[in-house]
Amino acid sequence: MKLLYAYRYGIVGGVSTQLRLRQQALANAGIECHLFFSQDNGLRQVLTRDHRIHFGTGSALKALVRRESFDAVVVIDSPELLGPAVGPIWRRNAVYLDVHTTTSNGLAYLADIDTSSLAGVMVPTNYSAGLVAKRINDHPVKVVPNILNTEVFLPVAQSPQNALGEAREFIWVGKLDDHKNWRLALVYTRLLCDLFGDVKMHMVGGYTAPAERAEEFFQLAYRLCISDRVIWLDRVENTTLAELYRRCAASGGAMLVTSRDESFGMAAAEALLCGCPLIANELPVFREIFPVSSMVHLVDIWQPEQIADAAQQLTTSVTDGEVQHLYTQLSRRYGPKSFVETFKTLLTGT
């Protein structure tokens, strides 16, 4: 079997990282998988040379599907690529739509596409399925889970948590956009400093942020008097990110998730795999993805007192057994095997 995923944004992280994980999982299952990106938003420079990863315009995608014989093409939230993905008239491809966005603006394109011409529509969670089904009533929506990188994001033996009074480290991961609520993350960094004194907040992401947004970020940190407490990393390697998660956990800190919405919550799940507790906005998808655990604190992100209460509960040590149990549960549900089995069933109908 030979497949192609097509997506607009070639970014460092997010859906692009998920596609690399899917490509590897499918390859391990004996399925050749190519990736196509119509924009290079920094991804190309972090890749090793790979003839199965392509960049170009819609016409380049059209040429690719004419040149290669794909059994299926999956287009992710890029309606302008649906037409070129179909292939030449003498060899039409089975084209699937994979919806990962959850915002109203992001989902608006569904009203303008003809779903009857698609071989299938898929999403990563039941939560997303509900959002998409409301907009394409004439077509079934199938859930194909995301893959977690359980080989990089995993717990390791930790030293005892810091005694009270030592620095606590927290982490926030996301783009510097309104959807991720990065400003609120800085406001709550101030709150955490007031609670615990010596605090460090690692803000990871924002590589593609415009210069004016970066300036706004630094100005707000300065006004909140936390410039010396915030460490901004616009992008990091997965191994470094995993180390940061484990470091925050060992310090008695946590990952802070302020997003307004998520289709899955990859970064939050990866933090949990490493044994890092969450203080996260109580989103419907988080209740679906994350098992009940003392490491998962779901709160109303607009209520500062709930953030403070969850942070103070972090003084209770999480046992190695709890960390391993959560890792095992997430690995079973969202490991490569689960994805490949579900994906093949969707494609073959068996």
- The full DSSP string for 23-86 is HHHHHHTT-EEEEEEEEEEB-GGGSPP-TTEEE--HHHHHHHHHHS--SEEEEES-GGGHHHHT
The answer to whether residue 156 sits within a structural domain is: no
Sign of the torsion formed by the C-alpha atoms of 264, 118, 75 and 334: positive
Domain count, the chain: 2
Task: Indicate whether 314 and 254 sit together in one domain.
Answer: yes
Return the bridge partners of 37, or none.
7, 55
pTM of the model: 0.90
Q: Residues 267-279: what's their mean pLDDT? A: 96
Task: Indicate whether 122 and 184 sit together in one domain.
Answer: no
Q: Residues 173-197: what's their mean pLDDT? A: 94
Task: Indicate whether 278 and 306 sit together in one domain.
Answer: yes
Task: Indicate whether 134 and 215 sit together in one domain.
Answer: no
Task: Indicate whether 299 and 343 sit together in one domain.
Answer: no
pLDDT for residue 161? 53
Q: Residues 147-169: what's their mean pLDDT? A: 76
> Residues 290, 282: contact at Cβ < 8 Å?
no
> Residues 150, 130: contact at Cβ < 8 Å?
no
Task: Indicate whether 33 and 91 sit together in one domain.
Answer: yes
Task: Indicate whether 317 and 340 sit together in one domain.
Answer: no
Task: Indicate whether 324 and 342 sit together in one domain.
Answer: no
H or E stretch covering 345: helix 336-348
Q: Show the tokens assigned to 141.
A: 């929506």
CATH of the domain at 48: 3.40.50.2000
Mean pLDDT of the chain: 91
pLDDT exceeds 60 at position 256? yes
Task: Indicate whether 105 and 206 sit together in one domain.
Answer: no
Task: Indicate whether 43 and 56 sit together in one domain.
Answer: yes
Task: Indicate whether 132 and 217 sit together in one domain.
Answer: no
pLDDT in tens, 20-49: 999 999 999 999 999 999 988 667 766 766
Dist. CA 74–CA 122, nearest whole Å: 9
pLDDT for residue 137? 79
pLDDT in tens, 130-139: 999 999 977 8
pLDDT exceeds 50 at position 92? yes
